[in-house]
Structure 1
Amino acid sequence: MKKKKNLFRQIKHSFQVKVLISILFPVIIICIVSNLVISGVLGFQLLKKKEAIEKEYISVIEAYMEDAQKNLNILALLADNNSSVQWVMKRAYMDSVETKKYALDAQESLQDSLNANPMSGYVKNLFLVNSSGMLISVVSQQSAVRSEQIFLSPLFEEREDSRTAVSRVTDSVIGADRILAYVYPLDAGQDAFMYIEVDTKYFKELLEPYQDSANVLIRSLGSNGDIWYSSQKFEAEYLRYGEKRYIADSVPFVPFDIEISTMLERNIYTADNLLVLYVFLAAAATVICVGFTVSRMISRRITGPLRQVSNHIGAMIDQDHLFTDETIEMGEDEIAEIGRAFNRLVRHINDLIFRQKVMYEQKQRLEMNALQAQINPHFLYNTLDSIRWMAIIQNAHNIEGTVMSLENLLRNMAKGTGDKITLREELSLAQDYVNLQQVRYMEIFDYICKIPDEYMDYTIVKMTMQPVIENAIFHGIEPTGTYGEIRVAVCSEGEDLFISIEDNGIGMDEAELRDILKKKPGKNSMSGIGISNVNERLKMTYGSKYGLIYEAKKGCFTRVIIHIPKERKGEEGANV
Structure 2
Amino acid sequence: MRLRNKLKLIKDWPIAMKLIALSAVFIAVPLGIASYLTFTSYSESIQNNTGKYQMDVVKELTANIDTYLNELNLLTLLPYQSPQIIRYLEVGEQTSASLSFNDRVTIEDFAKRVFANGRVDISGLTLFRTRGGNTYTAMSEEQANYLPREVKNEVWYDKVSQTGKMVYLGTFNKNGMGITNQVYSFARRIRSVDTGAVLAYLVLDVDKNIIRNKIEAISNDKKNIMIVDNEGSMIYKSMVNGPDAEQIKQFKGAGTVVYKQDNDSELVSYYTSPLTGWTMIEMVPLAVLLQDTIYVRNYIIGIGAACLLLAIIIFTLFALRITNPISELRNLMKKVVIGDLAVSIPIHSRDEIGQLSQSFNIMVSKLSDLGYRLYESEIREKNAQISALQSQINPHFLYNTLGSISMYAEIQGNKEVVKMTNHLSKLLRYSINSHQSQVPLHMEIEHVTGYMAIQQIRFEDKIKFHVRIEPELLSYSVIRFILQPIVENAIVHGIDKGNGYGTISLIGKRQDNQMLIQIQDDGAGMSAVHLQSLLDRKFQMTTTDEGTGGTGLMNVHRRIALRYGNQYGVRIESNLKQGTTITLTLPLIEGHHERRNMDA
Fold conserved between structures, TM > 0.5? no
Higher helix share: 1
* TM-score w.r.t. length of structure 2: 0.39
* TM-score w.r.t. length of structure 1: 0.40
Q: Greater CA radius of gyration, 1 or 2?
A: 2
